[in-house]
Structure 1
Amino acid sequence: MILYYAVGGGMGHLTRAKALIEHFQVPLESVKVLTASPFAQSCFPDLPILPLPSHLAQNPEFYQVWLQQQFRKYNFEQVWVDSFPCGILGELQAFADANLQWAYFARILQWENYKGIWQKTLPFEKVYLLETLEKAHQNFLESHYSKNLENLHFEYSRKNVSCIFDENDWLIVHSEPETEVCELLAYAYEQAEMENQKPRFCVISPISKLDTSLIYTHFHLQEAHHYFEQAGRVISACGFNVMKQMQPYQEKHHFLPFPRRFDNQFLRAKLAFTKN
């Protein structure tokens, strides 16, 4: 049994969890995805979710007890850790000596902000590098896991969907927070005005009612990337998943990085410009 650690804000960790579980062809009955995301059940109904009670984030001792209970209940043999090498709060360090197989999936992490959490090295047998990392993060991994590093390339599953968008549609794709969804929508309006265009502004987000006077059409779609090909333009932030999903459509991708405590969307945006 695998515990996939996908704790973090937004839907990015869950989107990546789904893609990696499919990439490694893990039977869904053999994995539990740990998350505190309020969107988990509604946006990822097929994922075997292990919901993390939100109040535990404020009670580290109870959180440890709860985690221990889950390990006993499900008899986990492997732990796959997304993004945070010892957990977002450092909570996984308590299990470093347990009889478990560990794997780490590394995306960009602001090491300067995270390194104070790390105190104990987890025995990762595999460290999968999902993108170019910050140098300090890369150096940490090379110093502790030099023989276990592996670049991992994976794709997001594609399915045939109804054609609900066309070239006149601009998709604004973002889960949360609402202020950032509004900022991306305003950015799209600015582009349209500068280019003298009149597209339909289509917001794809779990948030249906935005605090804005701008006119838009809302869509609540579980996996937005299936529709990117249909639209004339896609406006997004610079999270890992959307930047990777938009690689085949770079010519119509417009993006804004937002500040994050642990992610570095500005570095990811810079790397995207460099590649282009």
Structure 2
Amino acid sequence: MILCYASGDGLGHLTRLRAVLHTLGVDGPVTVVTASPFAGDPRVTGDWRIVRGTGVTGLAPDEVPEEVIVDAFPAGLKGELIRGDVILPGTKVTHLARLLRWDAYAPMLPADPPRFDRTFVLEPLAPAHEAYLRAVSDEIVPLALTDPPSEPVDVDGWLIVHSGPEAETLELVAYARDMASAEGVRPPMTLVSPQKPDSLAPEVAYLDAYPAWRPGPNVQRIVTAAGFNAVRQFAPWRDIHRMLPFPRSLDDQFARAARARREAGDRSRSPRRRPA
């Protein structure tokens, strides 16, 4: 059994975990510790066993995982993971490293944080973050992720994708409409999100689809925030992808969006947040 610790209450941790397990070819039983409400969606979690919570709890005394995978936060969301948490001798410990606001996270590290047999670096990290991981990892290597196969989401016009919260979803819709107005076009727009906002403009179509990362041939523009999965998954369509970064306590969407624009040769205009 592989035990995955995916702290955080969003959809991104589970989507990233799906891609990691697919990339590594894991086909055995998987137990995921998460507080995400999206863990109840079988489209997201499939046949994983879900343990609700924010700590590594819920395992029977005789359950010893072959491997523990710690996603994103090397000591848990709030520094709650310490060396020895269901990590017994002989258990491989893997960390999945993505960009963090290291200045905000580092003060939460416990005095006895976990050590890792290997750390997979999924995107460029801040220098201090990478230096820390090198100090606590026996091996640190990059890993390019491949998502499980899925059907394309094919809609006419512009595709807006976000899992929430609702205020951000509506801001993304407003950003797309402002962008269209500035360009002098009136494309049909479709929002893909787990929940339809109550005040969604009637001219914007709504679709609940997961996964929603592969656009069909009729999609002319993709509008998302700048979370890890959106930037990674829509990289092949960077020429039609526009990002609106949102502030996060531990994730740096602004740095990720800036890097994506640099890597794309700044082919698109830098997005700006709408006034509050």
CA spacing shift, 1:230–1:2, aligned 2, 3 Å: farther
TM-score by length of 2: 0.87
Q: What does residue range 110-149 of structure 1 map to in structure 2 within 5 Å? A: 110-119=101-110, 120-145=112-137, 147-149=138-140
Q: 1:210 is matched with which residue?
A: 198
**Alpha-carbon distance in 1 for matches of 2:30, 2:201:** 44
**Alpha-carbon distance in 1 for matches of 2:233, 2:9:** 19
Q: 1:201 is matched with which residue?
A: 189
In the alignment, is residue 226 of structure 1 matched against residue 226 of structure 2? no
Unaligned runs of 5+ in 1: 58-62
Q: 2:155 is matched with which residue?
A: 165
For each residue in 1:43-67, what CA deviation from the matched residue of structure 2 results, as whole angstroms up to 9, or x when unmatched? 41514041314xxx5xxxxx56xx1
For each residue in 1:110-161, what CA deviation from the matched residue of structure 2 results, as whole angstroms up to 9, or x when unmatched? 111111221223120001110101122112123333x511011121133345
Q: 2:37 is matched with which residue?
A: 38
Task: Tell me how large the CA RMSD over aligned residues is.
Answer: 2.0
TM-score by length of 1: 0.87
Give the letter aligned to residue 205 of structure 1: S
Which region of structure 1 is more displaced relative to structure 2, 84-93 or 43-52?
A: 43-52
Q: Which of 100, 108, 127 pairs up with 2:99? A: 108
Larger helix fraction of residues: 1
Unaligned runs of 5+ in 2: 265-276
**Alpha-carbon distance in 2 for matches of 1:51, 1:200:** 41
Alignment coverage as a number of residue pairs = 260
Q: Are 2:150 and 2:211, in contact at CA under 8 Å, matched by a contact in 1? A: no
Q: What does residue range 20-59 of structure 1 map to in structure 2 within 5 Å? A: 20-27=20-27, 29-42=28-41, 43-53=43-53
CA spacing shift, 1:196–1:47, aligned 2, 3 Å: farther
**Alpha-carbon distance in 2 for matches of 1:230, 1:16:** 26
- % of aligned pairs identical? 33
CA spacing shift, 1:186–1:273, aligned 2, 3 Å: same
Q: Are 1:4 and 1:34, in contact at CA under 8 Å, matched by a contact in 2? A: yes
Q: Are 1:182 and 1:210, in contact at CA under 8 Å, matched by a contact in 2? A: no
Q: Are 1:229 and 1:249, in contact at CA under 8 Å, matched by a contact in 2? A: no
Q: Which of 55, 59, 63 pairs up with 1:70? A: 59
SS in 1 for 2:214: helix
SS in 1 for 2:262: helix
SS in 1 for 2:82: helix
For each residue in 1:53-109, what CA deviation from the matched residue of structure 2 results, as whole angstroms up to 9, or x when unmatched? 4xxx5xxxxx56xx1x41636432311011000111222215256323200010001
CA spacing shift, 1:229–1:241, aligned 2, 3 Å: farther
Shift of 1:214: 6.0
